[in-house]
Each structure stands twice: as C-alpha cells, then as structure tokens.
Structure 1
Amino acid sequence: MAALRSIAAGPLAALVPAASAPSRTLPPLLRRLQQRPLLPLSLRLPAPAVAAIAGVSGLLSGIWESILRAVPKKKTSHMKKRHRQMAGKALKDVTEVVKCPGCGRPKRAHILCPYCVQSHPTDIFAIAPTKTGLLSASGSSSIRVYSTTEPEFPLTQTIQGAHKLGCHHIATSANGQKAASAGFGGEVKLWALAEDGSWKAEGSIVEGSKAGEAWAVSLSEDGRYLASTTHDGRINVWETPAKEKIREFETKGLIKPIRALAFSPGCKLLAAAGDARTIALYDVTSGEQVANLSGHAAWIMSLDWNDTGEYLLTGADRPPCSFWEALSGICSRTIPHPDSQVNRLCISPDKRFLAAAGHHTVKLYDIKSSNPNAVLTFEGHTANITGVAFHCEGKWMVTSSEDGTVKIWDTRTGNVQRNYSHGGIAVNDVVIHPNQGELISCDRGGNVRIWDLGENKCSHQLIPEDDVAVASVTVASDGSMLCAGNNSGNVYVWRMIQDRDITSLVPVCRFVAHNTYITRVLLSPDVRHLATCSADHTARIWSVDTSQPHNVTGAEQLPLEREPGAFPLETTLHGHQRWVWDCAFSADSAYLVTACSDHYARLWELSSQSIIRQYNGHHRGAVCVALNDTAIN
C-alpha cells in the first residue's frame, strides 16, 4: 500500500495477494466529517477503515470495565436497575463532547482542554480531585491547583518548590481538607486547605533521606491516616497528626511494585494493587489480608471506592494498540501488547494484518478478526525493534533493531531468512525499495546503507554527517528518490537511478528542516510532498523538487548543495504540545496523520493546514501510527 509509510511494515506471506491500487476517493472526507457528530457512542466493530495508533488509552475505559465486573451475579432487580443507572451516567459523562468555553475547540466533558489550560512544563504523573478543585503533580517542582467550579478550569494556585525533584503521586481526603504528595526525592508532604481556599504545607511524614520509603499514597476519608507503599513491596500506615507509623501490612500475593492504594469510606478496608494484576484487601483495624481479587490482564494503576464502599473501581494499563475510525474518531478496538511499548506499526499490503514492533519481538495481529492474540510472533532480536516493513506481496518482512542488525523474516513460518549487521551500531530505521530487491537502513553512527538482496551484501554506504545519527529514511514509491533525516535537523536527498539492475545515487541537496532532532521523514505516495516530524513539536510539509538533473557519474562523491530550503516549505503543522514521533499519508496524499507525545494522534487536511479530527484516549504518548484508508469513501 503506497499510502502507508514505507518505513514500517509487516505481516503474513503466502496469504497476502498483491496490493490493490490506492483509493482516490478520500477528498469527500472533510464533507463527511462535517456531517457526522464528533464522538457518537457506538459498539460496532467497523471494517478496517481505521487508524491504528500505538499508545495506552486512559483509565476511564478501564474503570468502566471494572464497574461492570463489580456487579455481583445475584442482585435484586432494584439493585440491578440502580447499577445500570449509575453505569449509564458514568458512560454519559465519559463520552459527552462539549465546546471548550476558553478556545472553542471540542473536548470531552469534565476534561481539561489541552489547548487553553496552563499546563505543567513536564509530564503530569498524578491528579487528585476535591469538591471544588483539582490538584496535579508532575516532574517539575511545583503542584498546581485548578478550579472545577468554572467551565474554563482556571489555574488558581501554584505551590512552588513543593518537591525539589518533582512529584509522582498526590492524594486528597474525601472531605477535601487534606492532601499528601510523594516526591522523587523520597519525601512525603502533607497539605491542608486554608480558609482562603489555598493549600498550605503541614510538614513531612517521610523525609527525603529515606528514598524509596514511599511510592503510591492514599488518605483516609477524614485525612487522619495516610497509607503508602515502598520500593520493596511493603505497605505502611501513618497517623497524620502525630506523623507516626502505626502499622505495616504484609503484601501476600502482590508483586512489587504496588502502584495503587485506596481507603474505603469509614476507613475499614484498604485496597492495594499493582503489577500482580490482583487486588489485596486489608482490614485496617486488625492488619489482616481479608480478600484477594483477580480478573485484570494488565498492571493495575489506579483504585477508588464509591461513596458507600459497595463498589471498588480499578483502572488498569489499557492495550497499547488502538483502532480508531478515521471519520468519527471512535476507538473501535484495542489489541493487547503486554510485553512492551509498541515502537512501530505497519499494515500488510492486503490490509489484513497489523505488525506491531516492540522490545525484541514483532507480533502479527489479524485486523479483521476479533481475536486479541497475535497470530504469529517473530523472535530473534535482542533489543528494541525500531523499524518494520513488508514485501509488496507479504512473502517476507524486514526489521531493524537497536541490537545493530537488519533481519529478513519468512512471514509464513516466522523464521529469520537473512541477517545484516551494522557493526554493532544501533539501527534506527529500515525501508524496502519498490523494486523489492534492495533494503535501505540507517543507524546512530550516521550511516545510511543500501543492501542488495540479489548479491546479499551492502552495495552503498553513505555518511551524510560524521557521528550524527540518522533517525529515519524514506524512499519514493516510484524508486526515484531517497531522503534521510538526522539528529541535527537536516534532510539529505539523493536521486536513485536504475541502470541494468545497478542502482546509482546522485546527491541532490541538503536542507535544514528543523533546529533539533528529526524523528521521521516520509515521502507522499504521489512523491510531491515530504513530511518531517521533529522534537520541536511540529510536523512540516515540503514541496518535492523533481527538476534536479540526473547524473550517474561519480554519484556518491558529488558535493551536496547546502542551500537551506532546497525543498520549498509548504506548511508547518502547529498544534502538537510535545514531540511528534511519526506520520502517515493518506492514499491520495491529501491528508496526514501524526502521532505525538501529548497523547494525541491528529488527522490533518494539508490543503487547509487544519486539524479535522483528533484521536484521544491514550494516557501515554502516541509514538507510532499506521493508516488504512481504503474503506473511507
């Protein structure tokens, strides 16, 4: 599929026919988007007209699942009805979309708008609500307080210097009068709500010299007791007025770390959970473990009780691969990938399989099946896999890895067929030339290598800049051009000329695309545009200059032109809040999807330079994306 980025790739072989011609029916997309509501509730699983974005979805869906699991099988009809009412209200609150009064952009109800709320300068690790406000903690030294009584969620207080090394957990009491925060230096601090509505420090329970003595924290309903977990798996309970430890629980059945704690209303029970995927319940008075709850298939990250203590709500790590309807923005499916983060995604030429590259392995999933398990796993790399691409008929797959190798796999058996070495230097990316006879890879040592599959050797080695890592490479769909982007923000361009099965490279230009790291370069299917993604929070679109003359004489020794902007800049896509990691063009080159560390994937219309859809729900950064738009008509 020419519309998919050639840098990632993937699936099964003998089952895969030749790729069909790319659809040219996408231009009505904007008109259909305007006719459809932003996020209608739907439980149908659509055809693969989806964008699959790697990342981890938010806790709300995990909580919703847990609400359903929490209902006992035997209940009176009155209780069943009451539960359905509660669950329905929760679902409505989660899915309702409103217009932000601050900037006018669409946002989920009761969620801070990422565009107009003053955010932390670093990642936010924890939030804690009160009846009138929201406290947030991040990697910065401050704690921020927002008012939830006004629709703009204004910032009302910044507690400067709260934690010197940043804060990873924060909790509030149910009465909203007390708060506790745990810092990366090991300290746990107490806070009290003053009469003027501001938060004041009340001292420390754990000093910074005792690093590792406190991780997750929870306050009792009245703020009198504080529970905290430790790095070695213990649970301590402290009396806050005296700042003394009064109890230590044994964590039978729990695997450290314990990531979440929650006191029940009335402080009778304490729930604890973490990587063991089980929840332990303790009697606060006796200190005994009274129950062990199971059912989650992933790490449990969050716990809370309802007001009566009848239900315990849990939030777990969601599957990192999410399928989104490009038109509606609905997340229609998630695929578990519990082993590691997903680094790259690629859809097979027949649009049937999705390859997800992670740590050491590539897993192959059937897009058209509801089976959440991988149909095939490719094992053989010893470090993170950074690139994946498919043969045009799906007969084989190529991967690159930080272990310094490029491997070719038989997609029918999962076995390694060939192995090419970069001399122990981590390989950042790999693509397949459209002639299917050459591979192009780049590494952190600053090398770009072309591998001749017929001769089974490296036929060209290019070094654009000494000791500057090349992050990404892309080749034109007609095989006429090669582009590489490096950590200096520069893009290098070569002509690729085929003459009697011999490829010659003609340097065309070098230009400055960004002032910092380039994370991805990608040529559009029609070879008229070049997209570059960067750590500067932008993606840029460049007009590809095809007027440069062909010259095969001494191609690799020709000096590169150094004119900035040798490819004219068409547009800069603003709106990302953090690093932009990946992108994918639509089949007609009119649209671009980007994946960003700010937890969003975005669909851009290039002609208007505007965002026409945002895909949110990840509570971690979206780092890779693959687009299948053949069903968008």
Structure 2
Amino acid sequence: MPIHLLTTALCVTLLLLTGCDAGDTPQLQSRYAEGTVLAAETSADGRHTLISTGPGPVQVWRHGEPEPRYHWYQDESLQDIVLLAISPDGRAAATASEDRVALWSLETGRNLGFYQLNHTLRTLALADEGRSLLLGYQNGEAEHVNLSNGRRLLFLGHEDRINSLDLSANGRYALSASHDGQVILWQTTDAAILARWQHPHSVSLVRLDQDGGYAFSADAQGRGIIRRLPSGEPVASLQVPHRGQTFISARLDPANNRLLTGGTARRLDLWQLDSGQLLDSWRVGLHTRLRPASAMVYGVAFIDRQRLYSISSAGLGETWVLPQREQQP
C-alpha cells in the first residue's frame, strides 16, 4: 500500500449487516478501527484483515470474529506503521514503517523477525509462507531478500522511485513499477529482465496472479492494462467508466476469468479478465460523521465464486454477494 494514501477515522464497535440479496448493500459489514486508518490489507481469500492506525499495535482480524485475533507491536518507536503485506497463501504477514520491517505468522501470531533498512521504504510484498521479501525504495532500488538463507539481491533496473511491486507466490518473479511509468518483470534469482512496458503516466499499482501468469498495471490517470506473462503481451485494457478513476488495490482470478479492483471514490469493480469489460460495480461504506465523506478501497479479495470482500480507508470490511449471472466463470 503506497505511503501517501488518504486516511480516515472510525469506531471500534463491530457492526454486522446481513442480507441475502446481491446488490449495493453488503451481506456483511464489520467496523474495525477507531481513529486514523493509515493502512489496511486483506488476505487473498478475505480470511484475515490487517489494520494500522499509527505506531501500533497493528490489529489482526479474522473474518466473522467480534474481536481482533492478534495485536502486533513492531517496536517502541513512535514511527507509524504505513505498509502492510500478506503472503499469497495467507500464512505470513509483514508490517513496516519507512525504515523498519517486521515479519509475522498469521497462524500463531508470533513474530518471525525484525529488519532495519538503510533506505526509505515505499512498498513491499511477500512470497508464500513468508519465505522471501521484496522491498521497493524511494531511491529507485528494489531488493529481494531470501529469508531462508539470508541471500539479498538488489535490482537496479529503475531510474525513479518505486511506487508499487509484487512477488509471485513461489518468490521467483518480481514485478516492479516506478514513478516514471516503467514496469519491469524480473527474476529474483539473477535480476534478469523478462519483460518491460511503459505507461504514459506514473504507475500507481502492479499486481501478479498467484501463479505469475498474468499481470495488472495501472497508472495515476486510471489507465489499467492486463498482460500475459512472461511475454508482457497485452490482453485487455480496462474500460474505465469514470474519468479520473485511480486504482488502489487489485486481485486477479484467472481460473474464473475475473479481476477485482478497488479505487478512489469508494469504487469496488469486477472485470472480465480476458476482455476488460466491467461486469459490476459497488460503492463501499462510509463513516458518515467524517468529512470529506469518501473512502478508498485498500484491499480486495475473492472469498469464493459467489462472494467478494473489501477493506477500505473507512475501516470497514465488507462482504458482497455477486448477482447470479456473474457467478459463472
């Protein structure tokens, strides 16, 4: 999650709204946070949600439970926790300030290590089980760390600051994007570049599917492109219906030909992966006492074929049921 994202404040009480009809109303709504929400993230299946509201603790919620499962304190400093990541298999997580990273087990809640950084961190990603860590820095460098053997590899392919990156589930492939619009797919074994492409504007988001077969990249002007990997061949451009839409989060589901994105202005959108066609759209909830009355969707997930999940800057985790026509692959 980029550091500069807008934040809002909410109450700690858990609110559940139930319903059986699909549409604009979520089936389930959970209010997670009190105070300023600096960062939020969810696992690929929506089972776990991380919430940061300042220096700590980071709250770890399990879907459907009325209280946080864990409270994670990164250190005794007053630095805000501004970056969160969860491994594709949902077993490990990372929390980070601008110069310090902590790794955690989502299964036990135990800390797996602390790491002090020499450069200002802007974004990060994890491989399955937290076996490796990918870091993107303000100075344009990207670093892959094999946490099993301590091997570090520095990637110097960018000439501007890293805005977003992602790591394949097996940790072998990295996708990184910089402020100058450049996106690069590279190997973490030797930093060999496999593909690269250019956006006309600064890239705000890149995401891989768990198997590394597809990539999604979006720029600050709301232009989103789906590409097939490792060639980087374009598959589809998103037919964005609203001018100025900015993508904040995304989740690819090639098995069911779907892409789920979260954006500014409360946008949650479901797309057809191979055509870029918009299938459905929702507006996430608000904290009505706060102004401006808007929210950004920090994280999205496919719970199953019928249900979607979103976590927003309003601190609301929401489950959405798809209309029957969109439940087929």
Query: Could you say which TM-score interval applies, normalised by the shorter chain?
Result: 0.5 to 0.7
- The TM-score, its normalising length taken from structure 1, stands at 0.34
Could you tell me how far 1:539 is from its partner in structure 2? 3.2
Deviation at 1:477, TM superposition (A): 6.6
* Cα distance change, pair 481–331 in 1 and its aligned pair in 2 (3 A): same
Aligned counterpart, 2:228: 452
Distance in 2, Cα, partners of 1:330 & 1:454? 36
Q: Is the 8 A contact 1:437 1:454 kept in 2?
A: yes
**1:53 has 2:95 as partner:** yes
Tell me, in whole angstroms, the C-alpha distance in 2 between the residues paired with 1:341 and 1:459: 31
User: What do the CA deviations read for 1:194-221 (whole angstroms, capped 9, x no partner)?
Assistant: xxxxxxxxxxxxxxxxxxxxxxxxxxxx
Matching residue of 1:441: 217
Matched, 1:365 2:145: yes
Structure 2 CA distance for aligned equivalents of residues 38 and 445 of structure 1: 35
Identify which of 473, 482, 507 aligns with 2:250: 473
What is the identity, as a one-letter code, of the residue corresponding to 2:102?
S
Q: Is 2:283 aligned against 1:512? A: yes
**What do residues 589-631 of structure 1 show as CA deviations (whole Å, max 9, x unaligned)?**
xxxxxxxxxxxxxxxxxxxxxxxxxxxxxxxxxxxxxxxxxxx
Contact in 1 for aligned 2:165/2:207 (Cα 8 Å): yes
In structure 2, the CA distance between the partners of 1:381 and 1:479, relative to structure 1 (3 Å rule), is farther
Aligned length: 243
Q: 1:355 to 1:454 in 2, by over 3 A?
A: closer
The separation in 2 between residues aligned to 1:356 and 1:467, in whole angstroms, is 28
Alignment of 1:311-330 (within 5 A): 320-326=100-106
Cα 1:391–1:534 change in 2 (3 A) is: closer
TM-score in terms of structure 2 length: 0.61
Deviation at 1:392, TM superposition (A): 4.7
In structure 1, the residue matched to 2:267 is 490
On the 8 A contact 1:472/1:485 being kept in 2, the answer is yes
Written as runs of structure 1 = structure 2, the 5 A alignment for 1:254-293 is none
- Stretch moving more, 359-368 or 325-334: 325-334
Conservation of the 8 A alpha-carbon contact between 2:136 and 2:164: yes
Question: Relative to structure 1, is the Cα distance of residues 37 and 525 closer, same or farther in structure 2, using a 3 angstrom cutoff?
Answer: closer
User: How far did 1:335 drift?
Assistant: 0.9
Take 2:312 and 2:246, find their aligned partners in 1: how far apart are those partners? 14
CA contact (8 A) 1:442 1:472 kept: no
Residue aligning to 1:535: 313
Alignment CA distance shift 1:504-1:519 (3 Å)? closer
Q: Distance in 2 between matches of 1:386 and 1:471?
A: 11
Deviations 1:206-258 (CA, angstroms, capped at 9, x unpaired): xxxxxxxxxxxxxxxxxxxxxxxxxxxxxxxxxxxxxxxxxxxxxxxxxxxxx
Superposed displacement of residue 339, structure 1: 0.7
Cα gap change, 1:356/1:411 in structure 2, threshold over 3 Å: closer, same or farther?
A: same
**Which runs of 5 or more structure 1 residues have no equivalent in the other structure?**
7-26, 40-47, 57-318, 497-502, 553-633
Shift of the 531–329 alpha-carbon distance from structure 1 to 2, 3 Å rule, reads: same
| Conserved 8 A contact 1:529-1:543 | yes
Q: Using the alignment, how far apart are the partners of 1:469 and 1:543 within structure 2? A: 21
Q: Residue 300 of structure 2 corresponds to which residue in structure 1?
A: 522
Q: What whole-Å deviation, never above 9, does each CA across 1:28-77 have from its counterpart, x for those lacking one?
A: xx9xx99x9999xxxxxxxx965321126xxxxxxxxxxxxxxxxxxxxx
For residues 152-198 of structure 1, the C-alpha deviation after alignment (integer angstroms, 9 at most, x for no partner) is: xxxxxxxxxxxxxxxxxxxxxxxxxxxxxxxxxxxxxxxxxxxxxxx
Q: Secondary structure at the match of 1:413?
A: coil
Bigger radius of gyration? 1
Q: Is the 8 A contact 2:168 2:209 kept in 1?
A: no
Shift of 1:439: 1.4
1:430 aligns with 2:206: yes
Aligned ranges for residues 593-608 of structure 1 at < 5 Å?
none
Given that 1:388 and 1:400 are in contact with CA atoms closer than 8 Å, whether structure 2 keeps it comes out as yes
Q: Give the Cα separation in 2 of the matches to 1:320 and 1:489.
A: 30
Query: Corresponding residue for 1:336?
Result: 116
Conserved? CA contact 1:37–1:328, under 8 Å: no
The CA distance in 2 between the partners of 1:332 and 1:434, in whole Å, is 23
Q: Distance in 1 between matches of 2:108 and 2:137?
A: 28
Output one character per residue of 1:57-112: Cα deviation in whole Å (capped at 9) or x when no partner: xxxxxxxxxxxxxxxxxxxxxxxxxxxxxxxxxxxxxxxxxxxxxxxxxxxxxxxx
1:516, 1:534 within 8 Å by CA — same for their partners in 2?
no
Do the aligned partners of residues 4 and 376 (structure 1) sit closer, same or farther apart at CA in structure 2, a change above 3 Å counting? Answer: farther
Determine the structure 2 residue equivalent to 1:356.
135
Distance 1:454 1:378 in 2: 18
Amino acid at match of 1:377: L
The alpha carbon displacement at 1:393 in A equals 4.2
Quote the Cα distance in structure 2 between the aligned partners of 1:436 and 1:38: 30
Cα separation, 1, equivalents of 2:72 and 2:280: 43
Q: Tell me, which stretches of 5 or more residues in structure 2 are unaligned?
A: 1-41, 46-61, 74-89, 286-292
Paired position in structure 1 for 2:241: 464
* Cross-structure match for 2:54: none
Question: What is the CA-CA distance between 1:434 and the residue it aligns to?
Answer: 5.4
> 1:547 Cα deviation (Å)?
1.8
Distance (whole Å) between structure 1 residues aligned to residue 304 and residue 223 of structure 2: 27
1:385 matched to 2:162: yes
Q: Give the CA deviation at 1:408.
A: 0.4
CA RMSD of aligned residues (A): 3.7
The C-alpha deviation readout for 1:513-537, integer Å capped at 9, x for no partner, is 145241523214545543434333x
Whether the aligned pair in 2 keeps the contact of 1:527 and 1:544 (CA below 8 Å) is no
Given that 1:476 and 1:527 are in contact with CA atoms closer than 8 Å, whether structure 2 keeps it comes out as no
Q: Secondary structure, in 3 states, of the residue corresponding to 2:222?
A: coil
Residues 532, 541 of structure 1: 8 Å contact kept = yes
> Tell me, what secondary structure is at the counterpart of 1:548?
helix
Tell whether the 8 Å contact from 1:464 to 1:492 is kept in structure 2 after alignment: no
